[in-house]
A and B are shown apart, each in its own frame.
Chain A
Amino acid sequence: MLPTIRKVTSITKLEFDGTGKKKVFNFYKDLDELRDCRIWGLEAYYFEEQASVIQTQGTLTYDPDYNLPVISKNQFQNGFLNLYDTNNINFLINAPLVIFGTIQNDMANFGGARIKSGIVERDAKSFNGQKIDMQNSSVVFNGDANQLVETRIIFMDIYYSRMDLDKVIIKKLN
């Protein structure tokens, strides 16, 4: 994993309409930190509620801004990320969200309504310093992830560097 230069959390509210149709959500928030920056890494989380067991599955439960549940494991498996750079080039096309799930909660699936296993990417990916345009970027969900009327959060850690402040570090990384 790359060393952390700067990190910001991107929290976006997702309104699922329960129609079972594909849904596209833009990252509409204009985060100060992500203007004129280069992206080096991205991490995504999901929440798996298990009513019948005490422990919580998944890698995150609620977000700190809205106190809403993070996307479920099923939504995590049915979500695809599209990222654009500031030249409007879609450099990451329909990348499954699961490739950014690098935290493991448990390893075994005990089946049915009991404990479900964590989903973990073992070959952690990082980025190459692309100049990211977050507001132009989006996440797309298959109809299978849109079965209920609900509001969820997509919670992502974005590792970045500022082009005006971190020139020396960027040079070393490159």
Chain B
Amino acid sequence: MKRVVKHELIEIIVPAASTATRFQLPDAQNLRNVQTWGVQFYYDKIVPFSIISGLPTITKADSLISFLTMENYAGRQFDKQSPINKYQTIENNLVTTTDNECSIQEKDFKSYVGQKINFPKSYIDTVTPIADKTLNKVFLISIYYTDRGEDMSQTSFENKH
């Protein structure tokens, strides 16, 4: 169980027909110099579309060949090439049938310990290109964080506004 202090949703666009296999994480303003406590990722069976751009999320097959690398401000990759399904904690169904394939579900939940992540230096690698021929799609990721430097913060009892 994790407590949510702050949450930010980020997306990484996979452009149509792209041959790229590395996708940088965006430089989200709210996520600069903050302490990260958790990451959660979604694919099409769980959250089919991103609310940010409206684009479809990556498929389950894409998720199986995708790896997340997180870098901190000291230039160290403290989380290197983690299979992104390690961060998929929602179950849709457990049995594959002719119409529906089962979801992947992580039972050993991971969380961070407050690392400050340099998001624009962090990235997702895929084994082979995953782009569709005509349609853009996105990696959709939740980031759970705290921001001690924020004025007017109510996220801790240290700050009694």
**In the complex, which residues of chain B have a beta carbon less than 8 angstroms from the beta carbon of A117?**
92-94
Q: Are A91 and B89 in contact (CB under 8 A)?
A: no
Q: Are A92 and B51 in contact (CB under 8 A)?
A: no
Q: Which of B5, B93, B107, B142 is A128 in contact with, Cβ under 8 Å?
A: B5
A108 at interface, CB cutoff 8 A: yes
A71 to chain B, nearest CB (A): 14
Q: Are B4 and A92 in contact (CB under 8 A)?
A: yes
**In the complex, which residues of chain A have a beta carbon less than 8 angstroms from the beta carbon of B107?**
122
Q: Are B3 and A126 in contact (CB under 8 A)?
A: yes
Q: Are B3 and A127 in contact (CB under 8 A)?
A: yes
Chain A residue at minimum C-beta to C-beta distance from B11? A94
Q: Are B91 and A120 in contact (CB under 8 A)?
A: yes
Q: Are B154 and A131 in contact (CB under 8 A)?
A: yes
B158 to chain A, nearest CB (A): 10
Instruction: For chain B, residues 72 to 119, give those with C-beta under 8 angstroms from any C-beta of chain A.
Output: 89-95, 97-100, 102, 105-107, 109
Instruction: Decide: A1 near B153, CB < 8 A? Known: A98-B90, A109-B92, A117-B92.
Output: no
CA distance A131 to B46 in the complex (A): 30
Most buried by A among B1, B4, B49, B152: B4
Chain B residue at minimum C-beta to C-beta distance from A87? B152
Q: Are A95 and B7 in contact (CB under 8 A)?
A: yes
Q: Are A140 and B90 in contact (CB under 8 A)?
A: no
B155 at interface, CB cutoff 8 A: yes
Count of A interface residues, CB-CB < 8 Å? 47
A82 to chain B, nearest CB (A): 9
Chain B residue at minimum C-beta to C-beta distance from A112? B99
**In the complex, which residues of chain A have a beta carbon less than 8 angstroms from the beta carbon of B5?**
91, 127-128, 130
Q: Is the interface of A mostly helix, strand, loop or mixed?
A: loop
B133 at interface, CB cutoff 8 A: no
CA distance A72 to B54 in the complex (A): 19
Q: Are B155 and A91 in contact (CB under 8 A)?
A: yes
A135 at interface, CB cutoff 8 A: no
Interface 0/1 of B24-44, CB less than 8 Å to A = 000000100000000010100
Q: Are A95 and B9 in contact (CB under 8 A)?
A: yes
CA distance A128 to B6 in the complex (A): 9
Q: Are A22 and B90 in contact (CB under 8 A)?
A: no
Interface 0/1 of B105-141, CB less than 8 Å to A = 1110100000000000000000000000000000000
Instruction: Decide: A130 near B154, CB < 8 A? Known: A77-B46, A109-B95, A125-B4.
Output: yes
Q: Are A109 and B97 in contact (CB under 8 A)?
A: yes
Interface 0/1 of A113-154, CB less than 8 Å to B = 000111111111111111100000000101110000000000
A140 to chain B, nearest CB (A): 6
B51 to chain A, nearest CB (A): 4
What are 5 inter-chain pairs, A to B, with CB distance below 8 A?
A22-B51, A91-B7, A93-B7, A93-B30, A96-B46
